Amino acid sequence: MQIKNEILIRIYVVLSVIILFALILFLQAVKISIFEKDKWLAKAEQYQYSNKKVSQDRGNILSHDGSLLSTSLPYYDIRFDPLTQSITDEIFWRNIDSLSWCLATYVDNTYTPGGMREKLMESRKNGDRYVLIKKNASHLELERIKKFPLFNRGRYRGGLIVEKRPKRERPFGILARRTIGIVREGANAIGLEGRYDKVLGGEAGERLMRKIKGLNGETIWIPADDYTYNFESGKDIKTTIDINLQDITEEALKRGLQKHNGEFGTAIVMEVETGAIRAIANLGKTEDGWWEKYNYAIGRGIEPGSTFKLASAMALLEDNLIDLDDTIQIFQGKHEFYDEEMVDASYHALDETTFRHVFEISSNVGIALTIDEKYKNNKSQFVNRLKDFNLDLPTGIEIDGEVAPFIKDPENEDDDWSGITLPWMSIGYELTLTPLQLLTFYNAVANDGRMMKPYLVDEIMQYGETHKKFNPTVIDKSIAKESTIRKAKELLEGVVSEGTAKKLKTTLYNFAGKTGTAQVNYSKRRGQKLKHQASFAGYFPAEEPKYSIIVLINDPKNGSYYGSDVAGPIFREIADKAYSSKFEIQPPMNQEVKPGWRTYSLPDMNVGEKDELAFLLRDLEIPFSDHSDNQSWSIIRSASDTLSLQSRNLNSETIPNVKGMGLRDAIYILENRGLKVTVSGLGKVKKQSIPAGRKIKGQTVHLTMS
């Protein structure tokens, strides 16, 4: 019985303790939930954590050779939480002076150390937990700031808040700027950056973030650690842009715009065989100079003017309605269609000439009369032929914003077809194309009728490996008959050899193309000044085309406004520099049969190193005898029908005899003896201003070359 009572007593004691403990917990819960509710809610608010979506480093945009066109560089917004729990009053006051001096000296010199100290003190006093230290700090600046007093205690103990803000940079400045494009928050994405935004941006990851209250009570989420989870890095895209051709094109276009004071201009270089865009430049005039402010190449539909005459000529040839040497009436370049008068750009006094010559001199009247005569009873046939050339279709280039072509249809009442539409369409009016669409057509002619889709991206890459490859795409295997393409090429080559582009010819290579001069405000009001558009479209080399190019300048105000004077020279500059820098399009020097000897006389009085002269004579299989006494320098002497090598003694203390030497050898010998050399002419040394045998005193010897 006694044992039972002892057990009960123990149970009651334990139960009493449990009840007491439960009562204490209940009272504490009541205290926290009712009397200290605001305090603990504030604490919970202060230390709330959550996983937030964060974007990853954006992929690079590369040129064809791997050069960086656009990349993301790491920048940082650096802030300070002076109220973090680890910073006690003692720690804060012990470090405030030295920290203020470092910040005022190395980060923000608009503050004195005293002023910076007051700012930090006020921030702590007012509860500002998000004090800006520096925006867009570089990685080196961040590393320096991390070593400052207080901040060197680390993220949690020092109150340093670092937020990474990758910034898009273009190492080549404005080169292809509009084509590369940009992605901005709250604005339309443009260019390749916009079209490949998801590829370049990758998949956003998650990062643990901590919520704090800002100075004005706003909610701020700051990184709680340095780790990001469940993300996929952005991929790189490799473009077709040739950075050297892009630079050549941009500079040539800029010089042309400056010379003629144009409103804007564009130039495109396309690889004929593939359709790859190797260069695309768009420059417009701004208050700060020339800038890539709009992609005129794909976003601006223009009435092309005379460059469109190629399509009209090909329609006639394709339908067997004309041949190149047929005679055409052109009435001295002036004719009325209904009540509208059409005139040629230049007076030529020709009443008639061949169709070939009509195209070469770019006769508006000749082309328009021929088209009007052949198609006036079947206007749809002409329009359908243009559609056969795919001139009614956009190119599908990988950039948003391409304007669709507009070609009037006589069957469509909304297209406002009139009696003058057909002749004016034939010379490039009452229809619109973008420069890229027109170039795609010219490129097809250069490519023997095979029309390629223009494209800007070669491949998508990840970690240096190809993720996806884009191959050239054929739009149309043949836009016209073989005979039509061949004759079209003849016409374009004739423009350069005999026509409006004759002054642009070069002896280095042959090219083909068409000049264009269009009036852009022909429906102007009375008193409004005329504006023009100069263009040139073509390809080179003419025999085996490698590149096609189009150049367009809008509203040239200085000097001439004709395509041959404004756009043509820009085409030539681009083509010249491309030709000189691209060895693969130059004919090999040893391609032709070596020419025979043009003289029957033996070489004589040639001076040079003995071994080199002997090697040359043996290689040419010319017999000779050696009488040079083992001297380093020799002279070739001829006597009757034999050659001999004889010594040329060069005294090191007197002026040497360098007559008969090549320039390289002569300079080498003279300068090694302390003499200065000036030169005039080309070839071998014919005369030297100081005769051989004079004592050397550091003189200047002038060499006259033959």
The answer to the question of residue 2 being in a domain is no
Q: Are residues 480 and 361 in the same domain?
A: yes
Residues 213 and 146 in one domain: no
Residues 62 and 105 occupy one common structural domain: no
* Closest-CA residue to 703 (of 607, 691, 673): 691
Distance CA 437, CA 431 (A): 13
Residues 619 and 663 in one domain: yes
Do 343 and 478 lie in one domain? The reply is yes
Instruction: Give the number of domains in the chain.
Output: 4
Last residue of a domain, one of 446, 478, 500: 500
Which pLDDT does position 659 carry in this prediction? 82
Single pTM value for the model? 0.73
Using alpha carbons, select from 364, 347, 351 the residue that is nearest to residue 516.
364
Cα–Cα distance for residue pair 682/662, rounded to 1 Å: 9
Residue 542 lies in a domain: no
Please indicate, yes or no, if residue 589 is contained in any of the structural domains: no
Side-chain-facing half-sphere of 372: CA atoms under 13 Å = 23
The CATH number of whichever domain residue 335 belongs to comes to: 3.40.710.10
Residue 412 lies in a domain: yes
Q: Which residues contact 12 (CB under 8 A, 6 or more apart)?
A: none
Q: Which residue has the tokens 């964060």?
A: 54
pLDDT of residue 525: 47
**Sign for the pseudo-dihedral over CA of 309, 556, 520, 525:** negative
* Residues 223 and 97 grouped into a single domain: no
Is residue 600 assigned to a domain?
A: no
CATH code of 67's domain? 3.90.1310.10
Give yes or no: residues 489 and 621 share one domain.
Answer: no
Domain holding 155, by residue range, is: 75-165
Which pairing describes strands 236-239 and 61-62: parallel, antiparallel, or unpaired?
parallel
* Boundary residue ending a domain (165, 185, 214): 165
Asked whether residue 141 is domain-assigned, the answer is yes
Of 457, 482, 500, the residue at which a domain comes to its end is: 500
On whether both 66 and 136 belong to a single domain, the answer is: no
For residue 541, whether the previous peptide bond is cis, meaning omega lies within 30 degrees of 0, is: yes
Establish if 125 belongs to a structural domain. yes
For residue 476, what are its two tokens?
């149309």
Please check whether residue 559 lies inside any domain of the structure: no
Q: Let me know whether 310 and 357 are in one domain.
A: yes
Please indicate, yes or no, whether residues 335 and 480 belong to a single structural domain of this protein. yes
Other CB atoms within 10 A of residue 188 CB: 11
Chunked into runs of 10 residues, the chain (706 residues) has average pLDDT values of 73 82 80 69 61 76 90 88 87 92 92 92 86 90 92 85 84 84 78 88 74 69 68 86 94 95 96 97 87 91 96 97 94 90 88 94 95 94 96 94 94 90 95 97 97 96 90 96 96 95 93 94 61 95 96 94 95 95 76 53 63 75 71 68 70 80 82 85 83 83 84
Same domain, 478 and 407: yes
**Residues 495 and 637 occupy one common structural domain:** no
Look up the CATH number of the domain holding residue 697.
3.30.10.20
